[in-house]
């Protein structure tokens, strides 16, 4: 709720006050068990910072974070470590997030040891074997090292490591961006299957519209630190309301699972999150900009229904 994270920049910019990068500028979201919220936006829009703040890998400046009723934002020390088993992250590049000197057995079992979640090394071994089966890897892989696996297999190992603590909530930060298209689909299907089986809540971060469309129940569109639009997937893709969302959809080819589609370039350069435009942040690139858009930042309104699954929020003076 109301997450804010600004990064002060080193140095003295143009003799003025210290510049600040407004990476996340008041973002609120809720995700229910068994639900996936897709978070989409261009690089530099603040998507990863939202994820990192939720897990407190980066400390938010302000905001509240709740997981299963626990106030995560106020936890410290051991309590914070303990909640981490309920909230996990799967990273983009399995190559760099897996220690090359450790075997799969050690990598996947490590969170159990770190958080003292298993009574014995026998229990760790059993649970590692079980979770590897869940992600589609057999026990014959236990003593192998990350470099002996393909990119897709390495991402399966990354997922196993996140699942072994039995989390309720998992953040995927571009989990398939480093993979070949054919492997991408397999990993996405695995992520979906695991959710059906266990009821995990997911925050799925991606710059790839096709991937987000495939995996999400609801979608939030991020632009320069704020959510400009969020809605159920069907509403967002069929009735996009914000000019930025419309431009993204118009510039992306039609859905085709075999073709990888990324956010196409939209007219004009994305402005810097350090020197934000006045008024609506999108106005320098917006085809529908009006005089008020330069002067006043729009407020977020709900143009959908009142039920949680019908909410359609948009931040634009057109509404």
Nearer CB in complex with ligand SF4: 142/249: 249
Examine residue 36 and tell whether it contacts Mg ion (CB under 5 A).
Answer: no
Q: Which residues bind ligand SF4 (CB under 6 A)?
A: 242-243, 280, 282-283, 286, 288-290, 293, 298, 316-318
Secondary structure string (H, E, C) spanning the chain: CCEEEEEECCCCHHHCCCCEEEEEEEECCCCCCCCEEEEECCCCCCHHHHHHHHCCCCCCCECCCEECCEEHHHCCHHHHHHHHCCEEEECCCHHHHCCCCCCHHHHHHHHHHHCCCCCCHHHHHHHHHHHHHHCCCCHHHCCCCHHHCCHHHHHHHHHHHHHCCCCCEEEEECCCCCCCHHHHHHHHHHHHHHHHHHCCEEEEEECCHHHHHHHCCEEEEEECCEEEEEEEHHHHHHCCCCHHHHHHHHHCCCCCCCCCCCCCCCCCCCCCCCCCCCCCCCHHHCCCCCHHHHHCCCCEEECCCCCHHHCEEEECCCC
Q: Phi and psi dihedrals of 206, rounded to 5?
A: -160, 150
Q: Is 48 exposed, middle or buried (0-12, 13-18, 19+ CB in 10 A)?
A: buried
Examine residue 206 and tell whether it contacts Mg ion (CB under 5 A).
Answer: no
Partner from ligand SF4, Mg ion, none binding residue 282, C-beta < 5-8 Å depending on class: ligand SF4
What residue is closest to Mg ion based on CB? 48
Nearer CB in complex with ligand SF4: 58/289: 289
Partner from Mg ion, ligand SF4, none binding residue 298, C-beta < 5-8 Å depending on class: ligand SF4
Partner from Mg ion, ligand SF4, none binding residue 289, C-beta < 5-8 Å depending on class: ligand SF4
Partners of residue 66 on adjacent β-strands: 71
Examine residue 52 and tell whether it contacts Mg ion (CB under 5 A).
Answer: no
By CB under 5 A, the count of residues binding Mg ion is 1
Partner from Mg ion, ligand SF4, none binding residue 48, C-beta < 5-8 Å depending on class: Mg ion
Nearest-approach distance from CB 215 to Mg ion, in angstroms: 16
Nearer CB in complex with ligand SF4: 151/284: 284
Examine residue 105 and tell whether it contacts Mg ion (CB under 5 A).
Answer: no
Stretch that binds Mg ion, among 20-28, 40-48, 135-143, 306-314 (CB under 5 A): 40-48
Q: Phi and psi dihedrals of 205, rounded to 5?
A: -95, 130
Nearer CB in complex with ligand SF4: 45/88: 45
Partner from ligand SF4, Mg ion, none binding residue 250, C-beta < 5-8 Å depending on class: none
Examine residue 230 and tell whether it contacts Mg ion (CB under 5 A).
Answer: no
Which residues does 75 contact at the CB level (< 8 Å), separation at least 6?
Answer: 83
Contact indicator for 287, 268 with CB cutoff of 8 Å: no
Nearest-approach distance from CB 249 to ligand SF4, in angstroms: 14
Nearest-approach distance from CB 277 to ligand SF4, in angstroms: 9
Nearest-approach distance from CB 286 to ligand SF4, in angstroms: 3
Judged by CB under 5 A, which of 45, 48, 52, 184 binds Mg ion?
Answer: 48
Nearest-approach distance from CB 297 to ligand SF4, in angstroms: 8
Letters for 164-203 (x = contact with Mg ion by CB under 5 A, - = none) are: ----------------------------------------
Residue where the block lists tokens 């196409």: 264
Nearer CB in complex with ligand SF4: 181/290: 290
Q: Which residues bind Mg ion (CB under 5 A)?
A: 48
């Amino acid at each position: 709720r109301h997450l804010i994270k600004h990064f002060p920049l080193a140095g003295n910019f143009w003799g003025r006050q210290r510049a600040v990068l407004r990476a996340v500028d008041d973002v609120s979201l809720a995700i229910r068990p068994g639900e996936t919220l897709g978070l989409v936006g261009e690089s530099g829009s603040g998507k990863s910072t939202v994820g990192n703040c939720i897990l407190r890998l980066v400390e938010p400046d302000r905001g509240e974070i709740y997981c299963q009723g626990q106030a995560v934002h106020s936890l410290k020390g051991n309590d914070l470590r303990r909640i981490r088993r309920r909230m996990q992250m799967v990273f983009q590049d399995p190559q760099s997030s897996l220690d090359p000197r450790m075997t799969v057995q050690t990598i996947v079992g490590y969170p159990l040891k770190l958080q003292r979640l298993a009574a014995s090394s026998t229990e760790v071994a059993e649970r590692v074997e079980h979770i590897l089966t869940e992600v589609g890897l057999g026990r014959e892989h236990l003593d192998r090292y990350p470099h002996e696996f393909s990119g897709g297999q390495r991402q399966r190992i990354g997922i196993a490591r996140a699942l072994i603590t039995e989390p309720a909530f998992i953040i995927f930060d571009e989990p398939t961006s480093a993979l070949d298209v054919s492997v991408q689909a397999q990993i996405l299907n695995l992520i979906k299957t695991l959710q059906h089986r266990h009821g995990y809540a997911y925050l799925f971060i991606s710059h790839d519209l096709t991937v987000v469309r495939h995996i999400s129940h609801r979608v939030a569109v991020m632009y320069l630190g704020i959510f400009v639009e969020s809605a159920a997937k069907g509403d967002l893709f069929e009735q996009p309301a914000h000019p930025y969302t419309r431009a993204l959809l118009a510039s992306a080819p039609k859905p085709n699972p075999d073709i990888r589609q990324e956010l196409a370039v939209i007219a004009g350069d994305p402005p810097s999150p350090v020197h934000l435009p006045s008024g609506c942040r999108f106005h320098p690139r917006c085809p529908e900009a009006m005089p008020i858009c330069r002067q006043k930042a729009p407020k977020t309104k709900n143009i959908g229904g009142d039920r949680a699954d019908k909410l359609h929020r948009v931040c634009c003076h057109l509404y």
